Amino acid sequence: MKATAIEVPVSEDLKLREISLSDAPAVFNLINTNREFLRKWLPFVDYSKAVTDTEAFIKSVTAAGNTSDLVFVVLYQEQHVGVIGFKSIDPANLKLEIGYWLAEQHQHKGIVIRSCAALLKYTFEKMQMNRVQIKVGIGNMHSNSIPKKLHFTFEGIERDGELLSNGQFHDLEVYSLLRWEWAKEQKFIL
Protein backbone atom coordinates (compact mmCIF):
# COMPACT_ATOMS: atom_id res chain seq x y z
CA MET A 1 0.00 0.00 0.00
CA LYS A 2 1.06 3.55 -0.66
CA ALA A 3 2.46 5.65 2.16
CA THR A 4 -0.45 8.13 1.92
CA ALA A 5 -3.99 6.83 1.53
CA ILE A 6 -6.12 8.47 -1.13
CA GLU A 7 -9.05 10.44 0.26
CA VAL A 8 -12.01 11.61 -1.77
CA PRO A 9 -14.10 14.18 0.09
CA VAL A 10 -17.79 14.02 -0.69
CA SER A 11 -19.41 16.41 1.79
CA GLU A 12 -18.92 17.62 5.33
CA ASP A 13 -20.40 14.43 6.78
CA LEU A 14 -19.21 11.97 4.12
CA LYS A 15 -15.80 10.96 2.83
CA LEU A 16 -14.14 8.08 1.06
CA ARG A 17 -10.74 6.87 2.23
CA GLU A 18 -8.60 4.22 0.59
CA ILE A 19 -9.08 1.01 2.54
CA SER A 20 -6.30 -0.21 4.82
CA LEU A 21 -5.73 -3.24 7.00
CA SER A 22 -6.76 -1.23 10.06
CA ASP A 23 -10.29 -1.05 8.58
CA ALA A 24 -10.71 -4.84 8.63
CA PRO A 25 -12.51 -5.14 12.00
CA ALA A 26 -15.01 -2.37 11.18
CA VAL A 27 -15.67 -3.64 7.65
CA PHE A 28 -16.08 -7.23 8.84
CA ASN A 29 -18.47 -6.05 11.56
CA LEU A 30 -20.58 -4.29 8.91
CA ILE A 31 -20.68 -7.45 6.81
CA ASN A 32 -21.46 -9.63 9.80
CA THR A 33 -24.25 -7.45 11.17
CA ASN A 34 -25.77 -6.95 7.69
CA ARG A 35 -25.25 -10.48 6.47
CA GLU A 36 -28.89 -11.27 5.59
CA PHE A 37 -29.39 -7.91 3.90
CA LEU A 38 -26.19 -8.10 1.81
CA ARG A 39 -26.33 -11.81 0.98
CA LYS A 40 -29.10 -11.47 -1.60
CA TRP A 41 -26.90 -9.58 -4.07
CA LEU A 42 -23.28 -10.00 -2.95
CA PRO A 43 -21.59 -13.37 -3.40
CA PHE A 44 -18.65 -12.56 -1.11
CA VAL A 45 -20.79 -12.32 2.03
CA ASP A 46 -20.90 -16.04 2.76
CA TYR A 47 -17.14 -16.28 2.28
CA SER A 48 -16.54 -13.56 4.89
CA LYS A 49 -16.75 -15.72 7.99
CA ALA A 50 -14.08 -14.05 10.13
CA VAL A 51 -12.14 -10.82 10.30
CA THR A 52 -9.20 -12.71 8.76
CA ASP A 53 -11.27 -13.11 5.56
CA THR A 54 -11.73 -9.35 5.39
CA GLU A 55 -8.02 -8.87 6.10
CA ALA A 56 -7.19 -11.21 3.21
CA PHE A 57 -9.43 -9.19 0.88
CA ILE A 58 -7.85 -5.91 1.97
CA LYS A 59 -4.35 -7.33 1.51
CA SER A 60 -5.25 -8.45 -2.01
CA VAL A 61 -6.61 -5.06 -3.12
CA THR A 62 -3.81 -3.06 -1.47
CA ALA A 63 -0.92 -5.30 -2.57
CA ALA A 64 1.90 -3.45 -4.31
CA GLY A 65 1.38 -5.30 -7.59
CA ASN A 66 -2.40 -4.81 -7.74
CA THR A 67 -3.31 -2.23 -10.36
CA SER A 68 -6.82 -3.44 -11.13
CA ASP A 69 -8.55 -2.40 -7.88
CA LEU A 70 -8.81 0.74 -5.79
CA VAL A 71 -11.13 0.30 -2.82
CA PHE A 72 -12.42 2.91 -0.37
CA VAL A 73 -14.24 2.72 2.92
CA VAL A 74 -17.32 4.90 3.09
CA LEU A 75 -17.18 7.04 6.23
CA TYR A 76 -20.43 8.75 7.15
CA GLN A 77 -20.29 10.99 10.21
CA GLU A 78 -16.86 9.42 10.86
CA GLN A 79 -18.32 5.87 11.00
CA HIS A 80 -17.70 3.00 8.59
CA VAL A 81 -20.96 2.42 6.70
CA GLY A 82 -19.88 0.60 3.54
CA VAL A 83 -17.33 0.02 0.82
CA ILE A 84 -17.05 1.50 -2.67
CA GLY A 85 -14.36 1.35 -5.26
CA PHE A 86 -12.97 0.64 -8.66
CA LYS A 87 -12.47 -2.81 -10.06
CA SER A 88 -11.29 -4.04 -13.43
CA ILE A 89 -9.22 -0.89 -13.88
CA ASP A 90 -7.96 -0.99 -17.46
CA PRO A 91 -5.44 1.83 -18.04
CA ALA A 92 -4.74 0.73 -21.62
CA ASN A 93 -8.37 1.30 -22.57
CA LEU A 94 -9.06 4.06 -19.99
CA LYS A 95 -11.98 2.28 -18.38
CA LEU A 96 -13.04 0.81 -15.06
CA GLU A 97 -16.03 -0.43 -13.09
CA ILE A 98 -17.49 0.98 -9.87
CA GLY A 99 -18.86 -1.39 -7.25
CA TYR A 100 -20.42 -0.55 -3.89
CA TRP A 101 -22.32 -1.84 -0.88
CA LEU A 102 -23.80 -0.07 2.11
CA ALA A 103 -25.07 -1.22 5.51
CA GLU A 104 -28.85 -1.52 5.66
CA GLN A 105 -29.34 1.12 8.38
CA HIS A 106 -27.61 3.72 6.19
CA GLN A 107 -29.70 3.17 3.08
CA HIS A 108 -31.88 6.01 1.68
CA LYS A 109 -29.62 8.84 2.88
CA GLY A 110 -28.05 9.57 -0.50
CA ILE A 111 -24.71 8.15 0.64
CA VAL A 112 -24.06 5.90 -2.36
CA ILE A 113 -25.17 8.35 -5.03
CA ARG A 114 -23.09 11.16 -3.51
CA SER A 115 -20.12 8.80 -3.20
CA CYS A 116 -20.47 7.65 -6.81
CA ALA A 117 -20.71 11.25 -8.02
CA ALA A 118 -17.48 12.09 -6.17
CA LEU A 119 -15.77 9.02 -7.62
CA LEU A 120 -16.90 9.97 -11.12
CA LYS A 121 -15.21 13.34 -10.70
CA TYR A 122 -12.07 11.61 -9.43
CA THR A 123 -12.20 9.07 -12.27
CA PHE A 124 -12.57 11.54 -15.10
CA GLU A 125 -10.45 14.39 -13.73
CA LYS A 126 -7.65 12.72 -11.76
CA MET A 127 -7.41 9.29 -13.38
CA GLN A 128 -8.24 10.58 -16.87
CA MET A 129 -10.48 7.59 -17.62
CA ASN A 130 -12.86 7.60 -20.58
CA ARG A 131 -15.47 5.03 -19.50
CA VAL A 132 -17.04 4.01 -16.20
CA GLN A 133 -19.29 1.00 -15.89
CA ILE A 134 -21.67 -0.15 -13.15
CA LYS A 135 -23.19 -3.63 -13.12
CA VAL A 136 -26.29 -4.34 -11.05
CA GLY A 137 -28.20 -7.56 -10.39
CA ILE A 138 -31.55 -7.61 -12.16
CA GLY A 139 -34.19 -6.83 -9.57
CA ASN A 140 -31.85 -4.86 -7.29
CA MET A 141 -33.95 -1.72 -7.52
CA HIS A 142 -32.04 0.27 -4.90
CA SER A 143 -28.74 -0.32 -6.62
CA ASN A 144 -29.90 0.18 -10.20
CA SER A 145 -31.33 3.59 -9.32
CA ILE A 146 -27.78 4.87 -8.80
CA PRO A 147 -26.53 4.70 -12.42
CA LYS A 148 -29.93 5.88 -13.66
CA LYS A 149 -29.84 9.00 -11.48
CA LEU A 150 -26.24 9.67 -12.54
CA HIS A 151 -27.21 9.67 -16.24
CA PHE A 152 -25.50 6.40 -17.15
CA THR A 153 -26.65 4.65 -20.32
CA PHE A 154 -28.21 1.20 -19.99
CA GLU A 155 -26.27 -1.02 -22.38
CA GLY A 156 -27.90 -4.39 -21.89
CA ILE A 157 -27.90 -7.59 -19.87
CA GLU A 158 -24.88 -9.68 -18.99
CA ARG A 159 -26.50 -13.09 -18.82
CA ASP A 160 -25.46 -15.27 -15.88
CA GLY A 161 -23.02 -12.52 -14.99
CA GLU A 162 -22.53 -13.40 -11.35
CA LEU A 163 -22.58 -16.57 -9.31
CA LEU A 164 -24.30 -16.06 -5.98
CA SER A 165 -23.35 -17.99 -2.87
CA ASN A 166 -26.51 -20.13 -3.23
CA GLY A 167 -25.00 -21.62 -6.39
CA GLN A 168 -27.39 -19.78 -8.71
CA PHE A 169 -26.26 -17.45 -11.47
CA HIS A 170 -28.08 -14.19 -11.98
CA ASP A 171 -28.14 -11.68 -14.79
CA LEU A 172 -26.61 -8.22 -14.48
CA GLU A 173 -27.79 -4.92 -15.92
CA VAL A 174 -24.82 -3.09 -17.47
CA TYR A 175 -24.66 0.72 -17.38
CA SER A 176 -21.91 3.02 -18.64
CA LEU A 177 -20.95 6.67 -18.61
CA LEU A 178 -18.36 8.22 -20.92
CA ARG A 179 -16.16 11.18 -20.04
CA TRP A 180 -17.80 13.51 -22.59
CA GLU A 181 -21.25 12.56 -21.28
CA TRP A 182 -20.17 13.27 -17.73
CA ALA A 183 -18.68 16.63 -18.74
CA LYS A 184 -21.96 17.54 -20.42
CA GLU A 185 -24.20 16.26 -17.62
CA GLN A 186 -22.21 16.86 -14.44
CA LYS A 187 -24.09 20.06 -13.66
CA PHE A 188 -27.19 17.86 -13.24
CA ILE A 189 -25.47 15.33 -10.99
CA LEU A 190 -26.31 15.93 -7.35
Taking residues 58-68, what's their average pLDDT?
Answer: 92
Q: Is residue 170 part of a domain?
A: yes
CATH label of the domain that carries residue 20: 3.40.630.30
Taking residues 99-111, what's their average pLDDT?
Answer: 95
What is the Cα–Cα distance from 12 to 87, expressed in whole angstroms? Answer: 26
Residue-level pLDDT at 3 = 60
Domain with 16, as residue range(s), is 7-188
pLDDT digit string (tens) for 134-149? 999 999 988 999 999 9
Q: How far is CA 13 from CA 20, 32, 35, 71, 74, in A?
A: 20, 24, 25, 19, 11
Phi-psi region of 78 (alpha: psi -120 to 50; beta: other; left: phi over 0): left
Q: Is residue 2 part of a domain?
A: no
Q: Is residue 1 part of a domain?
A: no
Give how many domains the chain has, as a whole number: 1
What is the Cα–Cα distance from 123 to 133, expressed in whole angstroms? Answer: 11
Residue-level pLDDT at 187 = 53
pLDDT digit string (tens) for 121-175? 999 999 999 999 999 999 998 899 999 999 999 999 999 999 887 888 999 999 9
